[in-house]
Amino acid sequence: MTTQTTPQVTLSDRAAMEIRKLVKERTLPETAGLRFGLKGGGCSGFEYRCEMAAKPDKFDMIYEFDDARVFVDRKSIIFLENTHIDYKRALMGSGFQFNNPNATGECGCGTSFAV
């Protein structure tokens, strides 16, 4: 685990508030955070994965934003560097959204991208 002082991943205030809310609602430990990464697949080559985790994994990069934590594995950070995570509420669905400057294309679903 490595705690980063210079964020390679950034978080909006709304996203940080949502992470803190989810940790509290699920009565997770204070070590909990949002696990953010990617896996191969989807329409465009990679899919974002996003889930709450009770603690970071051994090789995770840890980003802290006023008690809101984001965990990113070292393989994913190569493709997620400088990604901004936001949280949007909408009538048709709410969720985390990712602005990834490394993406060269993305699918219409918003969870799949190419580099």
113 within a domain of the structure (yes/no)? no
The CATH number of the domain where 26 resides is what?
A: 2.60.300.12
Residue 108, in any domain of the structure: no
| Structural domain contains residue 33 | yes
- Which are the contacts of 80, defined by CB distance < 8 A and separation ≥ 6? 8, 9, 36, 37, 38, 72, 100, 102
Domain total in the chain? 1
Map residue 108 onto helix, strand or coil.
coil
- Per-residue pLDDT 10s for the chain (115 aa) are 656 556 689 999 999 999 999 999 999 998 999 999 998 877 778 888 999 999 999 999 999 998 999 999 999 999 999 999 999 988 888 899 889 999 888 776 656 777 7
Please indicate, yes or no, if residue 112 is contained in any of the structural domains.
no
Q: How, if at all, do strands 60-65 and 68-73 pair?
A: antiparallel
* Domain, as residue range, for 43: 2-102
Cα–Cα dist 75/68, whole Å: 22
43 occurs within a structural domain: yes
